[in-house]
Copies of this chain bind each other. A is one copy, B any other.
């Protein structure tokens, strides 16, 4: 069966429409090499040089991210956590990089409650350091970590509020993630607890991204999460019933791509 699915994907890619740049997901199990030793090239070309973070530096990145949330919210926080240390460790081109460029992505993009801004910051951080293909594969893993973990995990050196609870979002979407947590904690939006929680989540995603980048730099990063678009035949999460109730539309058949044959339809 697996061979059949791969052949279908190859067919799609060979058809040319999707062939010239980026794969929808990186193929599972393929080890990708670090380019830390690559020759100098224009900063318009990715990836940029990466140097592995120590455990202490990863924790420092978490604290930078948490503090930075209160300056520029979640996407900025996740990105600056890594970039600030890369500016010190590597220098250019990180020093010249306009790190505020995804600040708008907070609140699920300008407050519209879509993808959590931490996952946009994480994706940019991973892409700068490992290029668009590996960067996407890393962000896919971070999305899965985000959707399946009881968050927040990180305890910052300087918390702004004491938190009682954690929650699992089942989704990379801000509205669901912060909404479920607020309900469980019993607090409102813009409460000190909610703000500190989101700062800690930014730290969690920044740190997780750096852990994957470290694995990649060692040639040991192996993508494990099948992107939902491949499983469900439409860009999607795996929490279908959260919105659809028991009326989850069929994506196989007429509207299907055949990408989920492994799963036996949806």
Contact B112 A120 (CB under 8 A): no
Q: Please name all residues of chain B whose beta carbon is closer than 8 Å to the beta carbon of A264 when the two chains form the complex.
A: none
Given contacts A100-B127, A108-B115, 4 further A-B contacts (CB under 8 A): A42-B96, A188-B233, A189-B233, A189-B257
Q: Roughly how many angstroms separate A177 CA and B192 CA in the complex, as a whole number? A: 34
Contact B104 A126 (CB under 8 A): yes
A160 interfacial contact with B, CB 8 Å = yes
Q: Roughly how many angstroms separate A190 CA and B19 CA in the complex, as a whole number? A: 13
Q: Please name all residues of chain B whose beta carbon is closer than 8 Å to the beta carbon of A140 when the two chains form the complex.
A: 110-112
Q: Roughly how many angstroms separate A235 CA and B175 CA in the complex, as a whole number? A: 6
Mark each residue of chain A from 95 to 127: 1 if its CB lies under 8 Å from any CB of chain B, else 0: 111111111111111111111100110011011
Mark each residue of chain A from 15 to 26: 1 if its CB lies under 8 Å from any CB of chain B, else 0: 001101110110
Contact B123 A119 (CB under 8 A): no
Contact A114 B105 (CB under 8 A): no
Residue of B whose beta carbon sits closest to that of A230: B111
Closest 10 CB pairs of A and B: A111-B229, A114-B115, A243-B243, A107-B235, A113-B235, A104-B136, A111-B227, A113-B236, A104-B123, A103-B132
Mark each residue of chain A from 163 to 188: 1 if its CB lies under 8 Å from any CB of chain B, else 0: 00000000011110011001100111
Mark each residue of chain A from 129 to 149: 1 if its CB lies under 8 Å from any CB of chain B, else 0: 001100110011001000000
A234 interfacial contact with B, CB 8 Å = yes
Residue of B whose beta carbon sits closest to that of A199: B17
Complex interface residues of chain A between 232 and 258 (CB less than 8 A to chain B): 233-237, 242-243, 245, 249, 251, 254-257
Contact A132 B119 (CB under 8 A): no
Contact B114 A114 (CB under 8 A): yes
Contact A190 B257 (CB under 8 A): yes
Q: Pick from B143, B160, B259: contact of A110, CB below 8 A.
A: B143
Contact B175 A236 (CB under 8 A): yes
Contact B229 A107 (CB under 8 A): yes
Stretch of A31-39, A65-73, A213-221 contacting B (4+ beta carbons < 8 Å): A65-73
A156 interfacial contact with B, CB 8 Å = no
Q: Roughly how many angstroms separate A128 CA and B71 CA in the complex, as a whole number? A: 19
Contact A44 B257 (CB under 8 A): no
